[in-house]
Amino acid sequence: MKLVNITPTFIAIFPAIAILPIIKQLIQDLHIGGVETLLRFFSAAINPSLDQIVLSNALNGLIITIATAFLAWFFSIFIGTILGILSSNIFWEIFTNNSYIGIAIRRLLSIPRAIHEVVWGLLLLQILGLHPLVAIIAIVIPYSSIIARVIANQLDSLDNKSLVAINQTGADSASAFITSLIPPLFPLFATYAGYRLECALRGATLLGVFGLGGIGTELQLSLQSLEFNELWSSLWILGSFMFFLEQILSYIRHANFSINLKEKDVFFIFIIISLLIAIDLISLKALDIDLFTKIELHQLKLPTIIELKTAFIQLPLLKLIFTTLLLSVLSAGIAIGIPPLGLMIWPGKIGGQVQSFIWLFFRLIPPPLTALLLLLCCEPSISLAALALGISNIGVMGRLLKDNLSQQNNSLFNAVKSVGAIDQISWLYGKLSPQSKSYLAFSAYRTDVLLRETALVGAVGGIGLGWQLQESLSSFNWAEVAVITFTFITLTLIGESLSDKTQEYWIKGTRDLSLNCSLQT
């Protein structure tokens, strides 16, 4: 009889073990002098700069970031929806009776999806120069293809009985498609589009950290000059806005507005979005940012076959791939394992609220800035990069877990508690267990995202493909850039396929799969 049965509950917590080698390495690399600076950073949290110029810069930065994120989000949704319909099997089956074109478009779209928006930003910066549109395009490219994938999957998973019924009434293919398959997409928009807006805001902040303007640039400049009070002014302003946005989006997600969407509601949403776009453009113009400035294309010297071959031989690709994977595994370990471990250790209401607050800040500070903060007191290393990347993802995973736990009833928890179990055990068996499979399915998706995000912290850790890409970009070695980008794409596509399989495995037999989880895959 096989007595070993490793439960998903255990698997959800176990990855937290990755924190041990990371802490060991960081303690070895610690230089005490920097700890004082780090403490100064934390104490500045309660004493942010209230200087009018600092506040006005932070606010202007936030306006630029919001405008960039909103415009990028809008175009991503628009383009992504069209691409999503065009890449679905069902669309081509209706119009041409075979789905090959849909499959081909889907495969093609996996390439822009495989590259992180920051990498797109850095590449576009070389081609378009410092044009205000760079940040927007850098977000639109990967996001439209991610949205296209979600929409295509959703369309193909819909029950096509209504389509068959409408077809039988003699309706033409186009009206049959619009009538039967578009309305079921509305609930998807209400939840997924909101989530994407949050992602776009984080993406736009990140691009700022890499020099593309907005509040990210303000954060980066304050940190580089060790002006922690100014840094906290920007962080509190950004944090307040993020919190406000999260609350609104959470309200929309739970209110199920989309179920009985009427024509006038669609018109109302259209007016609001048009107004917001107009406000964005006016605010950017007021800050002397003109999106309609003429784009001047910089000629790129395309690498020859020989140059590509040389780059391929000279680059330590195996080592770069290995360190990239190690970085992903370590950061995924802490991002997945720490939130359930933390909630298990401190499961009460107060514990939950304190941890939620910490997670909000973890989500807020972009990973490259966390890495720079850690660099104040530690040597650059793979552990430092993994911790920086893991910390911001702990924020994302923690919020998701808590959101799903809050929708779960307490019956199992009460049952375990009634046998006299301590709170920690009651939480583990009664709360985490029923959520564990959907949490692990989402973790698989997050690991896939993390692999892409390694490009963000590679530079500070001096490791991985991300670091090499930035090195090659700054030395204009286009052959190396091409080889690394190709390797990155291959790696992320393999990662994506593995993540899909893992998600399928966990989703199978899940009793209460959260909407978040199914939609974000």
Note whether 161 binds another protein by CB under 8 A.
Answer: no
Figure out which of the listed residues 19, 437, 461, 489 binds another protein, where binding follows CB under 8 A: 437
CA R_g for the chain: 24
What secondary structure does DSSP assign to 206-221, as a single string?
A: HHIIIIISSHHHHHHH
Q: Which stretch binds another protein (CB under 8 A): 31-39, 271-279, 415-423, 513-521?
A: 415-423
| Residue whose CB is less far from another protein, 338 or 450 | 338
d(CA 18, CA 335): 10
| 3-class secondary structure per residue, 436-483 | HHHHHHHHHHHHHHHHHHHHHHHHHHCCHHHHHHHHHHHCCCHHHHHH
Residue 389: how many other CB atoms lie within 10 Å? 28
Residues 490-519 within binding reach of another protein (CB under 8 A): 509, 511
Note whether 349 binds another protein by CB under 8 A.
Answer: no
Q: Which stretch binds another protein (CB under 8 A): 43-51, 208-216, 306-314, 411-419?
A: 411-419
Tokens of 409: 């009833």
14 burial (CB, 10 Å; 0-12 / 13-18 / 19+) is: middle
| Residue whose CB is less far from another protein, 249 or 421 | 421
Q: Which stretch binds another protein (CB under 8 A): 93-101, 133-141, 189-197, 425-433?
A: 425-433
> CB-side exposure of 244: number of CA atoms within 13 Å?
8
| 446 to 485: interface string for another protein, x by CB under 8 A | ----------------------------------------
User: Considering only CA atoms, which of 496, 487, 511, 338 is closest in space to residue 438?
Assistant: 511
Count of residues near another protein by CB under 8 A = 34
Residue with tokens 């985490």: 432
| Residue whose CB is less far from another protein, 18 or 94 | 18
Least Å distance, CB 511 to another protein, is 6
Least Å distance, CB 428 to another protein, is 6
Q: 423-442 b/e with 16+ CB inside 10 Å = b?
A: beebbbbbbbbbbbbbbbbb
DSSP code of residue 419 = T
Note whether 436 binds another protein by CB under 8 A.
Answer: yes
Least Å distance, CB 446 to another protein, is 20
- CA 51 vs. chain centroid, Å, equals 33
| 356 to 395: interface string for another protein, x by CB under 8 A | ----------------------------------------
Q: Which stretch binds another protein (CB under 8 A): 220-228, 331-339, 408-416, 488-496?
A: 408-416
Note whether 106 binds another protein by CB under 8 A.
Answer: no
What secondary structure does DSSP assign to 164-181, as a single string?
A: HHHHHTT--HHHHHHHHH
Figure out which of the listed residues 47, 175, 304, 424 binds another protein, where binding follows CB under 8 A: 424
d(CA 19, CA 8): 20
d(CA 129, CA 142): 20
Note whether 233 binds another protein by CB under 8 A.
Answer: no
Tokens of 111: 């390439």
Note whether 417 binds another protein by CB under 8 A.
Answer: yes
CA angle 43, 48, 53 (to 5 degrees): 150
β-bridge mates for residue 378, sequence order: 30
Q: Which stretch binds another protein (CB under 8 A): 180-188, 372-380, 413-421, 473-481?
A: 413-421
Figure out which of the listed residues 393, 433, 468, 470 binds another protein, where binding follows CB under 8 A: 433
Note whether 404 binds another protein by CB under 8 A.
Answer: no
Least Å distance, CB 403 to another protein, is 20
Q: Which stretch binds another protein (CB under 8 A): 1-9, 201-209, 361-369, 458-466?
A: 1-9
Residues near another protein (CB under 8 A) are 1-10, 13, 411-412, 414-422, 424-426, 428-430, 433-434, 436-437, 509, 511
